[in-house]
Amino acid sequence: MKKIIIVFLTICLTSACSEDFTDLAPISNRNEADFFNTADDFVASINASYAGLQAEGVYNRAYWALFEMRSDNTDQGPDATGLARQYTEINQFTEDPLNEQVDAAWSGSYGVIANCNVILSRIDNVAEIDEGLKNRIIGEAIFLRSLMYYHLAIAFGNIPLQLTPFVPGDGLTQVDANTVYTQLVTDLTTAEANLPISYPTAENRGRATKGAAATLLAKVHLTLGNNTEAATVLRRIVNNYNYELVPDYADLWGIENENNVESIFEVQFISGGIGQGSFLTNEFSPSGDLQVGQGFGRNRPTVDMENTYEEGDLRFEPSMGTSWIDIDGEEQEQNYVRKYESSPPTEFDADSNFIVFRYADVLLMLAEALGESAESYDLINEVRNRAGLDDIDASTPGSFQEKLLKERKVELAFENHRWADIKRFGVVNDRLLEAEGEVITAGNIRNLFFIPQREMDINPNFVQN
């Protein structure tokens, strides 16, 4: 799949390059009438949609700022100048509608959506495509579009739900998050039906599968409060889709462990100076730990994050470390994220993938869907035992929700789940005030990000969050 993404055609790049982004109109390097005529054209186009996940506005930068740094897991640390200012504002709820990372998340996500909409609108018009391939590409496009809409709904709530290519002159209207999630239930059901359980050849490894669509579908059901429906989907993943936990948590991370048996969907980053490498090694590593380029020490694990790990938890060392940095002439300790460590050949060009969904998340979501029960504790303990920890049960101190949310916090740390989790569990204020009360007050906390000012300017009917 990595090799396939390399050859994507720039015709499929969308108006992420446009100043008026929400117009959702694709920009082509060739006449569209000469494209989208063969199976190869659609394969190239869906590859471009996957490549869109590598954008700075999606998994390479903005998503971890919006979904980890906004939460109690991480902060920017002492540096609040230049680019770091944008992150500090997000962490402390002081950003305004001009914040570049928030704007990038909107633009990058809608860029992938626009490309998928073009594919879905045109693929039925081409007779020569094999039916199996056509259905698979439809499933991939729907999954990728749904993945973007899920993140947009979590972040912004009131967004345009565009399911067809934008036509100049069309007016865009906002819908609430529940309307988006309801559409995603329909779409992801279709995607799961269209996609294969796995791919027989290594060259297609990394494409969306039934498991990927079903995992996102279950997450949407939980967000809607449809726990029974979520449990049905999650049992299907557990029973039919051939995932399992890797024996050693440390073996989830690193280039040599990509696309492993626990991984359900990964963003395939590619080094080599082609503009598709990962930023995460440079962004998160302390400066002294890199052979090439600078480490910026961003997305710094908080003290609350560090203290959440139990003694002897085997997840701690592969997840985060501590280094010493110079701050105004004084050496100070700073936590840093380790999950994305690698040796990039040049700065901001690592080859390490980003795991979007993995099987441990499925087990913990199934426990959530079932509610407190012996089976739920068995599912949680399957994850805990892999981490070298003892079982918990109903007699363990704390509510079931508290115990489950804590387990999700440490198991899925720095994987962009935390902001959605504390929103879904209804504990945003409680967790942020407890963990970061020194820099955040209750009056500052918002469940939604501001809609970027550019979108407000070009869409006068939009209502700002």
**pLDDT averaged over 10-residue windows placed end to end, the chain, 465 residues:** 43 35 36 76 95 96 97 86 87 95 97 97 91 97 98 98 87 94 98 96 93 98 98 98 98 96 96 90 76 76 95 97 72 87 88 96 98 98 98 98 98 98 96 78 90 94 96
Residue 296 three-state SS: coil
Output the CA torsion sign for 336, 340, 346, 349: negative
**Is 343 within the bounds of a domain?**
no
What confidence score (pLDDT) does residue 438 get? 61
Which tokens hold the place of 82? Answer: 């230049």
Which tokens hold the place of 8? Answer: 């994507």
**Is 64 within the bounds of a domain?**
yes
Nearest residue to 290 (alpha-carbon basis) of 323, 258, 334, 318: 323
**Is 215 within the bounds of a domain?**
yes
Nearest-angstrom CA–CA distance, 45 and 228: 36
Based on its alpha-carbon atoms, the radius of gyration of the chain, rounded to whole angstroms, reads: 21
**Is 463 within the bounds of a domain?**
no
- Structurally, how many domains does the chain consist of? 1
What confidence score (pLDDT) does residue 290 get? 56
Nearest-angstrom CA–CA distance, 155 and 137: 27
- In DSSP notation, 344-393 reads -SSTT-B---EEEEEHHHHHHHHHHHH-SSHHHHHHHHHHHHHTT-----
CATH number of the domain to which 437 belongs? 1.25.40.390
pTM: 0.92
Which tokens hold the place of 422? Answer: 């504390």
Q: In angstroms, what CA-CA distances link 424 with 30, 177, 386?
A: 44, 12, 26
Phi, psi of 199 (to 5 degrees): -115, 135
* Residue whose pair of structure tokens reads 């730990």 in the numeric block: 289
Which tokens hold the place of 77? Answer: 């640390």
**Is 273 within the bounds of a domain?**
no
**Contact (CB, 8 A) for 229 and 182:** no
**Is 464 within the bounds of a domain?**
no
What confidence score (pLDDT) does residue 28 get? 32
Nearest-angstrom CA–CA distance, 224 and 179: 10
Residue 192 three-state SS: helix
Nearest-angstrom CA–CA distance, 458 and 390: 55
What confidence score (pLDDT) does residue 3 get? 44
What confidence score (pLDDT) does residue 140 get? 98
**Is 112 within the bounds of a domain?**
yes
Buried-state track 55-87, b at ≥16 Cβ within 10 A, e below 16: bbbbbbbbbbbbbbbbbbbbbbbebeeeebbbb
What confidence score (pLDDT) does residue 10 get? 36
What confidence score (pLDDT) does residue 287 get? 63
Phi, psi of 266 (to 5 degrees): -130, 145
Residue 323 three-state SS: strand
Query: 109 lies in which domain range?
Result: 2-267+278-338+348-458
